[in-house]
Amino acid sequence: MLKRNATRSGLTQLRPRTMTPQELVEALDQYIIGQADAKRAVAIAVRNRWRRQQLPEELRREIAPKNILMIGPTGVGKTEIARRLARLTGAPFIKVEATKYTEVGYYGRDVESMVRELVENAIGLVRDAERRGVEQEARERVRGKLIELLAPAPTLGGDFGADAGDEASDSLERTRAKIGSMLDLGELDDQYVEIVTEQRASPMMIGSIGMDHLDGDLQSMFEKILPKNSQRRRMTVRQARDVLFEQSCDALLDPEKINAAAIDLAENLGIIFIDELDKVVASEGKGADVSRQGVQRDLLPIVEGTTVQTRYGYVRTDHVLFVAAGAFHKSSPSDLMPELQGRFPIRVELQNLAKDDFVRILTEPQNSLTRQYAALLKTEGVLLEFTPQAIESLAAYAYRVNQSMQNIGARRLYTILERMLEELSFDAPRIGSRRKPVKMVIDANYVEKRLERFADNEDLSKFIL
């Protein structure tokens, strides 16, 4: 969660929540089973960023983050660890696929776009925090605007004297006071008003290149010269309140200060998770090797530390934390460019999931699949209960199918549970009752009956499970 500290400039300084390595690991344990080494590595890396912020400016500039390379098969928690870590600390975070990038000169995205995405994420975080600070004033402005729309000032023609003007003014004030009270009670929500809305014209396209791929300055120039379309819209007070609230919040925020704070946040506390790094390892006899090797060369300066131009200003990547991941089934980290290897000094290997891990995944996390399905079916009046024997059976099936076919880790549980509960999910509206919920107990026999024919038939398992 982001902390907000007011400054003299009026803009709040955003700093992610401070957590000790022990607290981070304990928080990650609530959602991710096992992989203690990876959790400890990322927890230490995040804590080191807080430690760096406590140092003098001269020394702070010299300390670079220790980037992490996670090695392990799919479905064991690599991405989830990084994503949960960013959510727990409130740091700007993006996840990118290394395979989406190509060497400069090839058709595809350039690696610098990941830094631009990180800044966009930071802009959202800073903007949301600043928005919370102006919400009260924005609501007051909206209330005043709605009162003016519902009780506009009369246009008086001619000179009726001071007494007539004072009387009209007093009458208007009394009317507006009454309307204000009715607004607060929601009695006028269905009344219609007319408001002016603005919408910028759609961005132009240059060939197959959209606005996101244009140079930052060129993109900003296009946005400034594109005309705004203003139109009067008639809507209910309930609808107008939301539109006017958005307009008021935008008017109260300072974009320049938000952009500067977001760049600072991204530079010092941003996290970029690069998945599928092993897919850009060159292999002999394939035409795509030139581009794969080029992606590594283009990644090197980004990870090493460079300056990237964005639409909000220049961003340095010297202190951005990079967490890379890959299965490395057909290659090894040593196949990467030596210079790139050196930029990921911390390497952790994530372990394959065993049957006991599947049991824990189904029962311990706050967002476990069993809890998710129970909550979903409860909306239909079906109370789902899994016995310990059913959990054991589900874990055994998931482990067995992973061993006999492609090992997709914990993702196998999604296919197993969906197949097992397919019939119940389909019939839930018919058998459930919201007034008097129906209890359904899932035991080992229920699991065996619905999964046995799929698990025993290799062809069915291959295409269904």
pLDDT of residue 366: 83
Query: Within this chain, do residues 112 and 13 fall inside the same structural domain, yes or no?
Result: yes
pLDDT of residue 91: 86
Query: Within this chain, do residues 407 and 444 fall inside the same structural domain, yes or no?
Result: yes
pLDDT of residue 117: 92
pLDDT at residue 172 greater than cutoff 70: yes
Mean pLDDT of the region 365-377 = 90
CATH of the domain at 19: 3.40.50.300
Query: Within this chain, do residues 434 and 393 fall inside the same structural domain, yes or no?
Result: yes
**Banded model confidence at residue 374, pLDDT cuts 50, 70, 90:** very high
Query: Within this chain, do residues 275 and 362 fall inside the same structural domain, yes or no?
Result: no
End-of-domain residue from the set 304, 319, 349: 349
Query: Within this chain, do residues 49 and 69 fall inside the same structural domain, yes or no?
Result: yes
pLDDT at residue 48 greater than cutoff 50: yes
Mean pLDDT of the region 364-370 = 88
Across all residues in the chain, what is the average pLDDT? 81
**Banded model confidence at residue 456, pLDDT cuts 50, 70, 90:** low
pLDDT 10s digits, 152-161 = 877 655 555 5
Mean pLDDT of the region 189-214 = 62
Mean pLDDT of the region 179-197 = 85
The alpha carbon torsion through 219, 220, 224, 227 (nearest 10 deg) reads 30
pLDDT at residue 249 greater than cutoff 80: yes
| Number of domains, the chain | 3
Stronger pLDDT, 177 or 6, i.e. the higher one: 177
Tell me the C-alpha to C-alpha distance, in Å, between residue 331 and each of 122, 275, 335, 406, 459.
Answer: 34, 15, 7, 18, 29
pLDDT 10s digits, 421-445 = 988 999 888 887 777 888 999 999 9
Query: pTM score, two decimals?
Result: 0.76
Query: Within this chain, do residues 115 and 6 fall inside the same structural domain, yes or no?
Result: yes
Query: Within this chain, do residues 67 and 111 fall inside the same structural domain, yes or no?
Result: yes
pLDDT 10s digits, 116-144 = 999 999 999 999 889 888 889 999 998 88
Mean pLDDT of the region 238-242 = 88
3-class SS string, the chain: CEEEECCCCCCCEEEECCCCHHHHHHHHHCCCCCCHHHHHHHHHHHHHHHHHHCCCHHHHCCCCCCCEEEECCCCCCHHHHHHHHHHHHCCCEEEEEHHHECCECECCECCCHHHHHHHHHHHHHHHHHHHHHHHHHHHHHHHHHHHHHHCCCCCCCCCCHHHHHHHHHHHHHHHHHHHHHHHHCCCCCCCEEEEEEEEECCCCCECCECHHHCCHHHHHHHHHHCCEEEEEEEEEHHHHHHHHHHHHHHHHCCHHHHHHHHHHHHHHHCEEEEECHHHHCCCCCCCCHHHHHHHHHHHHHHHHCCEEEECCEEEECCCCEEEEEECCCCCCHHHCCHHHHHCCCEEEECCCCCHHHHHHHHHCCCCCHHHHHHHHHHCCCEEEEECHHHHHHHHHHHHHHHHHCCCCCCHHHHHHHHHHCHHHHHHHHHHCCCCCCEEEEECHHHHHHHHHHHHHCHHHHHHHC
pLDDT 10s digits, 309-347 = 888 889 999 999 999 998 888 888 888 888 888 899 999
pLDDT of residue 415: 87
Q: Which residues contact 18 (CB under 8 A, 6 or more apart)?
A: 50
**Banded model confidence at residue 235, pLDDT cuts 50, 70, 90:** confident
Query: Within this chain, do residues 39 and 139 fall inside the same structural domain, yes or no?
Result: no
Q: Which residues contact 445 (CB under 8 A, 6 or more apart)?
A: none
pLDDT of residue 181: 87
Q: Which range, of 92-96, 212-216, 224-228, 426-430, averages the lowest pLDDT?
A: 212-216
pLDDT 10s digits, 79-119 = 888 888 888 888 899 998 888 876 554 555 678 889 999 99
**Banded model confidence at residue 4, pLDDT cuts 50, 70, 90:** very low
CATH of the domain at 394: 1.10.8.60
End-of-domain residue from the set 332, 349, 366: 349
Query: Within this chain, do residues 250 and 151 fall inside the same structural domain, yes or no?
Result: yes
Q: Which range, of 31-40, 174-183, 209-218, 269-278, averages the lowest pLDDT?
A: 209-218
Q: Which domain holds residue 338?
A: 2-123+261-349
Query: Within this chain, do residues 442 and 294 fall inside the same structural domain, yes or no?
Result: no
End-of-domain residue from the set 323, 349, 375: 349
pLDDT of residue 408: 85
Query: Within this chain, do residues 24 and 58 fall inside the same structural domain, yes or no?
Result: yes
**Banded model confidence at residue 291, pLDDT cuts 50, 70, 90:** low
pLDDT at residue 163 greater than cutoff 70: no
Mean pLDDT of the region 28-37 = 88
pLDDT of residue 1: 44
pLDDT at residue 189 greater than cutoff 90: no
Per the CB < 8 A criterion, the answer to whether 290 and 241 are in contact is no
pLDDT at residue 176 greater than cutoff 80: yes
pLDDT 10s digits, 387-396 = 999 999 999 9
Stronger pLDDT, 186 or 433, i.e. the higher one: 186
pLDDT of residue 403: 85
Query: Within this chain, do residues 278 and 248 fall inside the same structural domain, yes or no?
Result: no
Identify the residue whose tokens are 């909550």. Answer: 375
